Structure 1
Amino acid sequence: MTVFNNELTLVAGDRQLSGWTQVRVTRGIERCPSDFQIEMTEKYPGQPFDITVQAGDSCQVLIGDDLVITGYVDKVSPAYDSDSHSITISGRSKCQDLVDCAAEWPGGQILGSSVLAIAQKLAQIYGITVSCTGDVGGNIPQFNLLLGETGYDVIERICRYRALLPYDGTDGNLILGALGTVQAANGFSEGINVERARAVFSMDQRFSEYVAFLQSVDVFTDTGNGGNLLGVAYDYGVERHRRRVIIAEAGGGGQDVAKQRANWEAARRYGRGSVVTLTTDSWRDSAGVLYTPNTLVPLDLPTLKVTGKIWVIGDVTYARGDNGMRAMLTIMPPEAFNPEPILLQPFQADVPAGTAQ
């Protein structure tokens, strides 16, 4: 049996710190920035910890030889009681500046630029690069920044129209990614590598019809819907009439943008109607690769009525504490992350007709 190195190391400047007693590192394709919290304790201290990490330091977090987060230390918290003292360090990836700070754009008006070009310009000021693994499509219609909104707010909004997922890579830079096609070396099977699991099949956030209005400044036209073009999408798995009206946020983009917005809403809500959360006792698959977001994994969980499915890891938390090493994952159908039109099923996956609640 191969034994993999899962020691977590915090690298800050020329210092490499390990031996942490409590570890939590979380990454996700809808969680930006990635973050960590680690703790070290020492019984009967004779003097304070000789750890010189300070809040604001740039850092890297590695599991074994695998880089998982590049960013900054947010908080350093020493504590003590009558028996021991401890130090807790938490931080986030470089993309925290995009999430926390106001978007900066000369004049506040964006016009005639692609998703990638907009993201690169918003991120550049914070020393963050942006790469794209999907199709950036055409230019985004003209729109104005809202006072106080962050760079990530803008990027996340425009990515909806181009079927892209904005999340941070292990180097701390931003990725505009298409839905992953890489499959883990193994999946998760009941009675083999799953300690606990829960599935949720829901209908409360799904609708039978999605009507998208593309709000425009041209609201006084005599050409029908000229200022508010329509896009319509359907979820045929919702058997009773439930209509949802939404506004496609970008302006002046035409019927295709409104239609894409409606399809995105229908696909996303359908996919999120089926969610599995599970805990396994390893951070790595059978090939020694860390479980990572945007990776396909087969599921065989007959008790939960989820069998023969290949779903996507939405987020993963690597944890170690008093109960040993665990990985907690949230896994959903690909449709939960894919804004393209889909052929919807009349019933929830693996739930026979007439039994859905």
Structure 2
Amino acid sequence: MAERVLLKIDGQVHEGWKAVSITMALNAICTVFELTLTEKWLDLPARRVVAAGAACELWIGNDLIVTGWVEDSDNSLDKSGHTITVRGRDKTCDLLDCAALHGTGTWKNVKLETIAADLLKPYGLTLKVEASTGEKIDYTIDPGESVMEALTKLARLKGLVLGVTPEGNPRLFSPKPVRADYGFALGDNISTINVTNSTADRFSQYILVGQRSGARASAENARAVKATAADPGMTRYRPLKIVTSEQSSQSGLQARARWEANAHLAAAQNVELTTPGWRSAKGTLFRPGGLVRVDAAYVNVDIDLMVTSVTLALSEDEYRTSLTLARPEAFSAEPAEEAKAKKKKKGQKVDPLMSIE
């Protein structure tokens, strides 16, 4: 089914795009898009102009996807017509590119929300907080770090994830898998599938060492807080020690340790697949965050997974979606489900996303 892709700029709607690429990710602070069309210039009373730097909204039908900026506008002309390629990102793109600046760059005994508000104020953005940020903290900007780097560090301290809303504001949340109204199965709606299961960046134990929040650190107590988390699927001895400069409470550092264990697991184990179209059979646009069943027994996958990134693409009149999926606990500060795994019986099938044995 054809989709209406609408780029709205200053009250004007640009559509009719012949090539489209839109990438959204659960833990990305920006959605990225690229749109291309070719118009027969001899048939047009005036050429189409899309200016770099323009504020824009990107819609797919009635679904708002991006509130941001046109960053690149390429124009070319030949005998076949006028070709325009437009690229852009959410308003949060400035947080990725620009330095974190605020007064002395140091906060003492404040909530995470206060630090975020101070950093975001010059950009006219507001942090949407969807989870508890816990106790007050101290924080100092590292020289040269971007706003996004600062916010990401703060999110990790609390075991949370940083993303973006369709309205272009940063979002702080703990992903809670919500069952989507669709799934994927070989022989039905899976065009291609690739399953990755690697042990290269997984560790048996994650040891986090940091400074005690609010303490006047001396040489003896500067590393007074310690927390550990395990990846029970890594059966050989492989410890990883992470020393942080940020001050944290014991509970905060423990959440960070569990987050590190799950983040490494998520990067090591995932499924990538492509499917025709941009929507489910019920008309739901594919977006990150949904919990879906992936039935692909031939590659030893039959499990519920969370959609972590989506690329909607159009080329040569073909609509297709590329999705990356990972274990539901991948972005959680809760212990991985593998901790509850029982020893498999002889001859029992083992899903590659559930064990490395």
What is the TM-score of this pair, normalised by structure 2?
0.89
Q: CA deviation at 1:46?
A: 6.8
Tell whether the 8 Å contact from 1:184 to 1:285 is kept in structure 2 after alignment: no
The 1:351/1:340 distance shift into structure 2, 3 A limit, reads: closer
Q: CA deviation at 1:291?
A: 1.1
Match of 1:122 in 2: 119
Q: CA deviation at 1:311?
A: 1.3
**Aligned pairs for 1:93-172 within 5 A:** 93-140=90-137, 142-172=138-168
Tell whether the 8 Å contact from 1:110 to 1:145 is kept in structure 2 after alignment: no
Among 215, 231, 236, the alignment partner of 2:232 is 236
Among 301, 306, 316, the alignment partner of 1:306 is 301
Q: Report which stretch shifted further, 232-241 or 192-201.
A: 232-241
Tell whether the 8 Å contact from 1:45 to 1:85 is kept in structure 2 after alignment: no
Match of 2:219 in 1: 220
AA paired with 1:321?
S
Q: Does 1:331 align with 2:330?
A: no
SS of the equivalent of 2:338 reads coil
Q: CA deviation at 1:33?
A: 1.1
Match of 2:175 in 1: 179
The 1:352/1:71 distance shift into structure 2, 3 A limit, reads: closer
Q: CA deviation at 1:218?
A: 2.5
Q: CA deviation at 1:229?
A: 2.8
Q: Which digits, 9 at most, give the CA deviation of each residue in 1:69-99, with x for residues without a partner?
A: 1101101100134544311011111111111
Identical columns (%): 29
Q: Which digits, 9 at most, give the CA deviation of each residue in 1:151-172, with x for residues without a partner?
A: 1111111111223211111111
Distance 1:351 1:77 in 2: 44
Q: Does 1:350 align with 2:351?
A: yes
Match of 2:346 in 1: none
AA paired with 1:256?
S
SS of the equivalent of 2:8 reads strand
SS of the equivalent of 2:177 reads coil
Match of 1:33 in 2: 30
AA paired with 1:167?
G
Distance 2:226 2:203 in 1: 17
Distance 2:281 2:257 in 1: 40
**Aligned pairs for 1:281-320 within 5 A:** 281-307=276-302, 309-320=303-314
Q: Does 1:67 align with 2:61?
A: no
CA RMSD of aligned residues (A): 2.5
Distance 2:322 2:295 in 1: 17
Tell whether the 8 Å contact from 2:57 to 2:64 is kept in structure 1 after alignment: yes
Q: Which digits, 9 at most, give the CA deviation of each residue in 1:306-355, with x for residues without a partner?
A: 10x221111111110126001111110022211223343569961499x9
Q: Which digits, 9 at most, give the CA deviation of each residue in 1:30-79, with x for residues without a partner?
A: 22211110001135757796223211110001111111111011011001
Tell whether the 8 Å contact from 1:180 to 1:296 is kept in structure 2 after alignment: no
5+ residue gaps in structure 2?
A: 344-348
Q: Does 1:322 align with 2:319?
A: no
Distance 1:82 1:44 in 2: 9
AA paired with 1:218?
A
The 1:80/1:226 distance shift into structure 2, 3 A limit, reads: closer
Distance 2:353 2:148 in 1: 41
Distance 1:113 1:75 in 2: 39
Q: For this pair of structures, how many residues does the alignment match?
A: 347
Q: Which digits, 9 at most, give the CA deviation of each residue in 1:88-138, with x for residues without a partner?
A: 011111111111111122211022222223222211210112211112212
Distance 1:248 1:306 in 2: 37
Match of 1:79 in 2: 76
Distance 2:196 2:160 in 1: 25
SS of the equivalent of 1:257 reads helix
SS of the equivalent of 2:283 reads coil
Distance 1:231 1:340 in 2: 14
Q: Does 1:259 align with 2:254?
A: yes
The 1:235/1:6 distance shift into structure 2, 3 A limit, reads: same
Q: Report which stretch shifted further, 48-57 or 229-238.
A: 48-57
Q: CA deviation at 1:146?
A: 1.5
Q: Report which stretch shifted further, 297-306 or 19-28.
A: 297-306
The 1:185/1:343 distance shift into structure 2, 3 A limit, reads: closer
Q: Which digits, 9 at most, give the CA deviation of each residue in 1:209-259, with x for residues without a partner?
A: 2221114772423xxx663432222222112111111123412x2433333
Q: CA deviation at 1:292?
A: 1.0
The 1:59/1:202 distance shift into structure 2, 3 A limit, reads: same
Distance 2:262 2:291 in 1: 18
AA paired with 1:24?
S
Distance 1:352 1:184 in 2: 20
Distance 2:262 2:287 in 1: 23
